[in-house]
Amino acid sequence: VPTQHIQNGQIVLNILPSAVGNMLMGNEVITFNARFGGKPFALTVPIKAVLAIYARENGAGTMFDAEEDGDEDSHQLEAVSDAEGMQQDEHTTPDDEPTDPNKGKKVSHLRVVK
């Protein structure tokens, strides 16, 4: 995750199905693909590092207790180069690609105002 997205040692992620790809939630980690500034990244988040899951619209959600088990190293962020995230994203299978080329495209809701 680019460091400009880290605030107060925390990262807020949008996990809507339209914002992430290949999301897998396991007992130990959550893995998914996401984009930051248009660059793809493959993310692995330890379950113990998740502080809360909530809806931005109304603030409803769940906060999790921080477990004190002496395993502080698992909560440290690890810097990776943009090339590493790009490299993992390039290894997609044909099943990962949409069959309809227009299916994954979003229409821009922005327009130029002079």
Residue 36 lies in a domain: yes
Residue 91 lies in a domain: yes
Confidence of residue 28 (pLDDT cuts 50, 70, 90): very high
The pLDDT score that the predictor gives to residue 27 is 92
On whether the CB atoms of residues 69 and 60 are closer than 8 A, the answer is no
Residue 110 lies in a domain: no
pTM of the model: 0.52
Domain that holds residue 33: 3-96
Confidence of residue 8 (pLDDT cuts 50, 70, 90): confident
Residue 106 lies in a domain: no
Residue 113 lies in a domain: no
d(CA 33, CA 85): 9
Domain count of the chain? 1
